[in-house]
């Protein structure tokens, strides 16, 4: 495996397979280029919405999103929310997911977050516990669609 680079999403990453990497979570790559650019610009306009990618050999092989939420509780404390963690099947079991998560945890810390939270399926709990996450509560979900 060549050098792994973990960094924030750039416009050029769409040509490096960013949407195809997201297909590992849910089919995304059929999105039109104009729709992808519209979403990218909206996300980039919010400094509290950070998408991180993992790149190897000019190919995006993983990604996650960090959302920074200022709160009224905890005297204006800040919470990090991790969403959409993905590593392409070809690169799973190579510690890339762990490196992506550690990278965004450091970003969250640098943004002053007092905690960072995420939701995951039961089969991924061991992975996140190995990084230092602890079971805290249950997720409930309401689907609008």
Instruction: Please tell me the predicted confidence (pLDDT) of residue 1.
Output: 58
Give the dihedral sign, CA 10/39/100/67. positive
Inside any domain, residue 145: no
Of 28, 20, 33, the closest CA to residue 62 belongs to 20
User: Can you give the pTM of this predicted structure?
Assistant: 0.94
Q: Is 140 a member of any domain?
A: no
Do the domain assignments include residue 75? yes
Q: What token pair was written down for 40?
A: 């990218």
In a domain, 92, yes or no: yes
Q: Is residue 21 situated within a structural domain?
A: yes
pLDDT tens, 50-89?
999 999 999 999 999 999 999 999 999 999 999 999 999 9
Q: Classify residue 136: in a domain, yes or no.
A: no
User: Has residue 143 been placed in a domain?
Assistant: no
Its domain, for residue 124, covers: 4-131
Q: Please state whether beta strands 49-56 and 59-70 pair in parallel, antiparallel, or not at all (unpaired).
A: antiparallel
User: H helices of 66-95, where?
Assistant: 73-76
pLDDT in tens, 33-52: 999 999 999 999 999 999 99
137 in a structural domain: no
Q: Report percent pLDDT > 70 for the chain.
A: 99
DSSP 108: H
Reported as half-sphere exposure (CB side, CA atoms, 13 A), residue 82 has a value of 26
Based on the structure, what is the number of domains in the chain?
Answer: 1
pLDDT of residue 2: 85
Q: Of 27-31, 102-106, 128-132, 138-142, which range is least confident?
A: 138-142
**H-only helix segments in the chain:** 18-22, 33-44, 73-76, 96-110, 125-131
CATH of the domain at 101: 3.40.630.30
The per-residue pLDDT of the chain, averaged, comes to 96
Apex 88 CA angle, 95 and 57, nearest 5? 80
């Amino acid at each position: 495996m060549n050098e792994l680079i973990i960094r924030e999403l750039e416009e050029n990453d769409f040509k490096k397979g960013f949407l195809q990497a997201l297909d590992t979570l849910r089919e995304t790559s059929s999105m039109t280029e104009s729709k992808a650019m519209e979403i990218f610009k909206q996300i980039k306009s919010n400094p509290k919405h950070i998408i991180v990618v993992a790149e190897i050999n000019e190919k995006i092989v993983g990604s996650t999103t960090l959302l920074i939420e200022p709160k009224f509780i905890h005297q204006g404390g800040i919470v990090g929310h991790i969403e959409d963690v993905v590593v392409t099947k070809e690169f799973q079991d190579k510690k890339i997911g762990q490196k992506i998560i550690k990278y965004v945890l450091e970003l969250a810390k640098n943004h002053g977050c007092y905690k960072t939270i995420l939701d995951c399926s039961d089969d991924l709990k061991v992975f996140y516990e190995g990084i230092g996450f602890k079971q805290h509560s249950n997720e409930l979900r309401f689907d609008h669609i």
